[in-house]
Amino acid sequence: MDQTTNDPPDQMFTCQLCGLSSPFTYYGQKPPKTRAIVLLEDCYVTKDPFSPDKEKFLVLGSTCSLCSTCVCVSPECSLYYTKRFCMQCVNKHLEQFPLQIQTELAKKKQSTKTAVS
């Protein structure tokens, strides 16, 4: 590894549940160079590599409001309900979430079970 670049190394976001990792360009609620976009939470954000629109960005993940674990926005890893929760905390405090969310999660669990070969 003797490659030299003048760019500062990308900061990496890593989901601590599924291991997904990706460089991110911004962490916070208001990504730079975007017009009037304010996110609901502090997020790890990266520019959308598939879009020529410079204002387009992707939200990679966020931190759990309870245990501060870094989690991606995949429904398998985290849930956004007024705040970001990692699935570990969701499962731990499931009875404190509204029934609607509990049912949705139960449905999801069933569908992943049948999807597994």
| Residues in contact with Zn ion by the rule CB under 5 A | 15, 17-18, 20, 64, 66-67, 69, 72, 74, 77, 86, 89
Least Cβ distance, residue 52 to Zn ion (angstroms)? 28
The count of residues in the chain is 117
Query: At its nearest, how many Å lie between Zn ion and the CB of residue 54?
Result: 27
Shortest spacing between CB 88 and Zn ion, in angstroms: 5
d(CA 15, CA 71): 4
DSSP state of 95: G
Nearer to Zn ion, 29 or 68 (CB): 68
Q: Helical H runs in 1-117?
A: 87-92, 99-115
Evaluate whether 61 touches 71 at the Cβ level (below 8 Å): yes
Q: With respect to Zn ion, which residue has the nearer C-beta, 38 or 116?
A: 116
